[in-house]
Amino acid sequence: MSLFSQFEDILVWQHARQFSQFVYSISTSGAFKHDFSLKDQIQRAANSVPLNIAEGFARQTDKEFKQFLFIAHGSIAEVQSALYLARDREFIDKQTFDSAYKQAEKISKMLMGLIKYLSKSNPR
C-alpha cells in the first residue's frame, strides 16, 4: 500500500474524477436531462468510480483495495453501457459518445493495470 500516500495521488482516481464531471455535463444538457432515470443512473455509475477508488484505498489493505477497484471497474462498464443507451435515444451525438467512451475505456484499462500491479506485489 505504500505506492500512494493519499487517494488523490492515484492517477486513475484523478481521471475518474474528471470523467465524472464530463458525464455530469453531458447528462444535464439537451434531451438527456429529461430522462431522469438514465441521467441518474449514468451519473451514479460515473460517481461510483472515483468514490470506490478512494474507499478501497482507505481500507489500507491491498486485498480490499483490489476489491473496490473491481467494483469501480464494473461501474465504468455500466457507464459505457449507459452511453450506448444515450446514443440510441439520440441524447448525445456520435462525437460526444466516442469521446466519452474513449475516456471510459482508458479508465477501465488503468483500473485493470492497477489491479494487476497490486496482485503481483501481493498475490494473496
Query: 53, 72 in Cβ contact below 8 A?
Result: yes
The number of residues in the chain equals 124
DSSP class of residue 85?
H
| pTM score, whole prediction | 0.93
Q: Compute the distance between CA of residue 69 and CA of residue 57 in angstroms, rounded to an integer.
A: 9
Per DSSP, the three-state class of 13 is helix
**Section 35-50 average pLDDT:** 98
Per DSSP, the three-state class of 40 is helix
For residue 121, what pLDDT is reported? 74
Please give the domain boundaries of the chain with CATH numbers for all domains. 9-119 (1.20.1440.60)
1 CB burial (10 A radius; 0-12, 13-18, 19+): middle
- pLDDT tens-digit map of 89-112: 999 999 999 999 999 999 999 999
Q: How far from the centroid of its chain's Cα atoms is residue 23's Cα?
A: 10
